[in-house]
Amino acid sequence: MRTDRFKLLLGATAMLALAGCASGEEWKTWRGHPTHFASGEHLFFSTRNAEGTAPRVTREDITLARDQGWWGKPITVGQEQILER
């Protein structure tokens, strides 16, 4: 009886694991689009703003977008060349 329950539990666990994993095709898509939902914040922004509704943009969204859209260290002047502490 105990063995049967254990087998049942193992089977259910395996099914849950399979349901939670991406298929090979899904992984291929994911690898082809590495920046999609690149961060948890992007995921939350996307789920908060459903398609067809006016998006709500917070200050944190803007900061994150700016940080994550980094295109490289700019060539610019350092503040220490203009001001002294």
Confirm if 7 and 15 have CB atoms less than 8 A apart.
no
Q: Is 31 in the site for other proteins (CB under 8 A)?
A: no
Residue nearer to other proteins on the CB measure, 27 or 65: 65
What is the token pair recorded at 62?
Answer: 């803007």
> Rounded to an integer, what distance in angstroms lies between the CA atom of residue 58 and that of residue 53?
15
Residue nearer to other proteins on the CB measure, 25 or 51: 51
Residue nearer to other proteins on the CB measure, 17 or 82: 82
> Rounded to an integer, what distance in angstroms lies between the CA atom of residue 65 and that of residue 76?
21
Query: Where along the sequence are the contacts to other proteins (CB under 8 A)?
Result: 1-2, 5, 9, 40, 44, 54-60, 62-63, 66, 71-79, 81-85
